[in-house]
Amino acid sequence: MLTVWSKRRIGRCDGVARRDFIKAGLLGFSGLGLADALRTRAEATAQGRPSNDRAVILYWLDGGPTQLETYDPKPYAPAEFRGPFQAISTSAPGIQINELLVEEAKVMDKVSLIRSMHHDHGDHFAAAHWMLTGYLGSNSQALDPQFPSVGSVITKLRGPNQPGVPPYVSVPYSATVGLQPGYNSAAYLGVAFNPFNSGGDPNAADYKVPNLNLPSDLTLPRLEDRHSLLGSLDRIRREVDTSGVMNGLDSFNQQAYQLITGERARQAFDISQEDPKLRDRYGRNSFGQSALLARRLVEAGVTFVTIHNGGWDHHWDLEQGMKSRLPSMDQSVAALIGDLDERGLLDRTMVLVMGEFGRTPRLNDGGNGGPPRSMGTPGRDHWGNVMSVLIGGGGIQGGRVVGASNSKGEFPAERPVKPADLLATIYQQMGVDLSLSFPNRAGRPVPINNYGSVITELL
């Protein structure tokens, strides 16, 4: 089953409440979309166009994490800029990160950092749209995404790496700034290329993916009857089709059908098959088990996975917020990188850790947008002028730093990088032609690459 989430937003920008959703049968709603993706991939291979088997895992820190308390500490800056934490050395000579990121410090030689990312927007919506699409677009919760996400573009062009699994999955759900699927969506490419939500909590003892189970009133024989009916309708359409478009659809529709009737997807989502010790290594919490599930999915053939990790909008109580959130994030990211490397999957799996923007270099007084000033301790506000991104795997070299912010973490001082540059790098490593365009809602061709340049220092 395909879960289609509403566009409602509830609560603050860094929190997402559960909401009602509509379930539409795979074959009745998105079967042809998945088939289309599978067909596109096969055609690309037949025509000799690049079609590698790389995958992407995007760890999305919703709300905007601070660069100074993560990957760009300023240990020699004045206290009001430096913040409450110290910097520690890592396995990559010369690279320091926040002292709470002790596990990531051990694998820093396998990944790299971009410390000069910027888009200069402090609005949650505009910033998230920039980072996930490479374009300035929606700057309000009331506006639909104006451009497709990097995950949707890759999904449309690549499809899954293996049949029988969805090409694009979000664990446990796809959201940006409280919107589902938010700017992870396919926009004008069509809902068939939106992410598939796994749902639930991967850390739950009885975790199951309800979206792969048949509803109680639909048996497998009834589903097979519907599949046969769809095939009959296709044959009728094929008889009146003179363009040849319908030719060859049967095999691809069959692969789409197998997603819900076959075992491969259900096996991929069955995290209970993992060694309990490995599950402990990732962390027995939602974030840790989501990262482990992401690894299972790319191993099974999913091409693009997003891991949602919200709660990073620390306008106040920054120190306590970092102590609460960084350890589980650190453990899960480090375990994911190490596990991929040990399994020989890191070279074909790109891992990214990022949010929509950074935070103001100077600490505030703890009262901006939060509790009464007498109750809040200092935090940092929205800052799109500079931020940090962790990237590794998928052909990206480890132990490198691209760009630098100035001494107080205020703006890029060396090698400014924009979101379109990051996305251009992802596209190239995924074998996607940067010159491709797709028609938007008005029928005008829009390039997937918004004048971005590949970050060659990472390669």
Q: Among 119, 76, 127, 114, which Cα is nearest to 312's? A: 127
Long-range contacts of 87-91 (CB under 8 A, 24+ apart): 91/399
Give the number of other CB atoms < 10 A from CB of residue 270: 15
- Unique residue bearing structure tokens 């290329």: 193
Binned at pLDDT 50, 70 and 90, residue 47 comes out as low
What's the pLDDT score for residue 375? 59
Domains and CATH numbers, the chain: 2-458 (3.40.720)
Whole-number pLDDT of residue 178? 87
Cα–Cα distance measured from residue 270 to residue 289, given in angstroms and rounded to the nearest whole number: 11
Q: What pLDDT shows up at residue 372?
A: 57
- For residues 295 and 268, the answer to whether their CB atoms sit within 8 Å is no
Look at residues 48, 6, 67, 106 and name the one whose alpha carbon lies nearest to residue 322: 67
At 445, is the pLDDT very low, low, confident or very high (cuts 50, 70, 90)?
very high
Section 247-256 average pLDDT: 47
Does the pTM exceed 0.75? yes
Residues in the chain: 459
Confidence band, pLDDT 50/70/90 cuts, at residue 139:
confident
- Bridge-partner residues for 439, per DSSP? 445
With cut-offs at 50, 70 and 90, classify the pLDDT of residue 246. very low
> CA-CA distance, 164 to 166, in Å (whole number)?
7
d(CA 129, CA 376): 30
Mean pLDDT of the chain: 84
Q: How confident is the model at residue 290 (pLDDT cuts 50, 70, 90)?
A: very high
User: Does position 389 have pLDDT exceeding 60, yes or no?
Assistant: yes
Residue 42 CA: distances (Å) to CA of 122, 303, 427: 42, 15, 18
| DSSP states of 196-247 | EE--S-TTSTT---GGGSPPTT--HHHHHHHHHHHHHHHHHHHHH-SSSTTT
Which residues, at least 6 apart from 59, have a Cβ–Cβ distance to it below 8 Å? 291, 306, 307, 309, 329, 333, 336, 351, 352, 353, 354
pLDDT digits (tens, 9 = 90+) for 393-424: 999 999 999 999 999 999 999 999 999 999 99
Question: For residue 92, what are the CA distances in angstroms to 89, 106, 204, 348, 459?
Answer: 8, 8, 36, 21, 16
